[in-house]
Amino acid sequence: MRATVDREECIGDGSCENIAPRYFELDDEGLARAVKNPVAEEDEAVVREAAEACPVDAITLEDEEGSQIYP
């Protein structure tokens, strides 16, 4: 799985970074970015939790073939 952040949608809530700090961080502009891809299989649940916690659905998850699996 791969995670991406739509920076135009991101409001800098920080919930993704709090839930999955190995995969998301807030940058100098206060917006989230994905910092590690692909997501390790054992971390998929926590990254999905982070995506689901985003209040503006700025995080997209894709499977290995590039098909969107969230949202």
Q: Which domains does the chain have, with CATH numbers?
A: 2-70 (3.30.70.20)
Instruction: Please tell me the predicted confidence (pLDDT) of residue 42.
Output: 98
Q: Please tell me the number of Cα atoms within 13 Å of 9 on its side-chain side.
A: 11
Confidence class for position 52, pLDDT limits 50, 70, 90:
very high
Q: What does pLDDT average to over the chain?
A: 97
Confidence class for position 11, pLDDT limits 50, 70, 90:
very high
